[in-house]
Structure 1
Amino acid sequence: MKKIIGKTKLFMDTIVDIKVVTSKSLEETEASINRAFDFFREVERTCSRFSLDSELMKVCKQINKPVAVSPLLFEPLKFALEVAKWTNGLFDPTVGQIMENVGFNQHYLTEELIQNNTSKKVTYSDISLNEEDKTILLKKPLVIDLGAVAKGFAIDLAVNELRQFDGFIVNAGGDLYAGGLDELGDKWKIGIQHPQNKENIIHTLEISNMAICTSGSYERKSGLKPGIHHIINPKNKKSPTELISCSIIAPYAMMADAFSTTCFLMGRKKGLTLLEEVGLEGILISSDLQIYHKGVDTIDY
Structure 2
Amino acid sequence: LRAELAAVDVTCSRFRPDSELTRVNLAAGTTVTVGERFAEALEAALRSAELTGGAVDPTVGRAVIALGYDRTFASLRPDDVRPLPVFRPAPGWRSIVWNARTRRLRLPADTCLDLGSSAKALAADRAASRAAAAAGCGVVVNLGGDLAVAGTPPDGGWRIAVADDHARPEPSRCPTVAVTTGALATSGVRVRTWRRAGRTVHHIVDPLTGEPAAPVWHTATVAAATCVDANAAGTAAIVLGHAAEDWLRRTGLPARLVAPDGRVVRLGGWPPEARAPGATLAGGAR
Using the size of structure 2 for normalisation, the TM-score is 0.83
Deviation of 1:239 (Å) = 2.6
Is it true that 1:233 corresponds to 2:233 in the alignment? no
* Count of residues in Structure 1 that have an aligned counterpart in Structure 2: 264
Deviation of 1:146 (Å) = 1.0
Report the counterpart of residue 271 of structure 2 in structure 1. 297
Is it true that 1:178 corresponds to 2:143 in the alignment? no
**Contact between 1:105 and 1:114, CA under 8 Å: does it hold in 2?**
no
Q: What CA distance in whole angstroms lies between the structure 1 residues aligned with 2:212 and 2:71? A: 20
Report the counterpart of residue 259 of structure 2 in structure 1. 286
**Contact between 1:245 and 1:284, CA under 8 Å: does it hold in 2?**
yes
Unmatched 5+ residue regions in structure 2? 276-286
Report SS of the residue matched to 1:267: helix
Report SS of the residue matched to 2:193: coil
Q: Deviations over 1:200-228 (max 9, x none)?
A: 14311011112111111111112225131
**Contact between 2:166 and 2:191, CA under 8 Å: does it hold in 1?**
no
120 and 228 in structure 1: CA distance in 2 versus 1, 3 angstrom threshold: closer
Q: Deviations over 1:166-224 (max 9, x none)?
A: 321111123211334555x2311100113498221431101111211111111111222
| AA matched with 1:230 | H
Q: Deviations over 1:232-261 (max 9, x none)?
A: 212221332110000111111111112211
**Contact between 2:182 and 2:226, CA under 8 Å: does it hold in 1?**
yes
Report the counterpart of residue 107 of structure 2 in structure 1. 138
RMSD: 2.6
Name the stretch that deviates more: 67-76 or 271-280. 271-280
Q: What CA distance in whole angstroms lies between the structure 1 residues aligned with 2:16 and 2:84? A: 18
Q: Deviations over 1:152-175 (max 9, x none)?
A: 010111122123333211111232
Report the counterpart of residue 159 of structure 2 in structure 1. 189
Name the stretch that deviates more: 101-110 or 83-92. 83-92
Report the counterpart of residue 94 of structure 2 in structure 1. 125
Name the stretch that deviates more: 285-294 or 229-238. 229-238
Q: What CA distance in whole angstroms lies between the structure 1 residues aligned with 2:193 and 2:200? A: 8
Higher RCO structure (Cα 8 Å, ≥6 apart): 2
Structure 2 counterparts to residues 192-211 of structure 1, below 5 A? 192-195=162-165, 198-201=168-171, 202-211=174-183
Is it true that 1:162 corresponds to 2:131 in the alignment? yes
Deviation of 1:125 (Å) = 2.6
Report the counterpart of residue 215 of structure 1 in structure 2. 187
Name the stretch that deviates more: 202-211 or 224-233. 224-233
Structure 2 counterparts to residues 1-301 of structure 1, below 5 A? 36-109=1-74, 110-111=76-77, 122-164=91-133, 165-181=136-152, 183=154, 185-195=155-165, 198-201=168-171, 202-225=174-197, 226-236=199-209, 237-268=211-242, 270-294=243-267, 295-301=269-275
| AA matched with 1:145 | D
**Contact between 2:45 and 2:57, CA under 8 Å: does it hold in 1?**
yes
Q: What CA distance in whole angstroms lies between the structure 2 residues aligned with 1:203 and 1:174? A: 15
Unmatched 5+ residue regions in structure 1? 1-35
**Contact between 1:196 and 1:218, CA under 8 Å: does it hold in 2?**
no
**Contact between 1:205 and 1:298, CA under 8 Å: does it hold in 2?**
no
Aligned-pair identity (%): 26
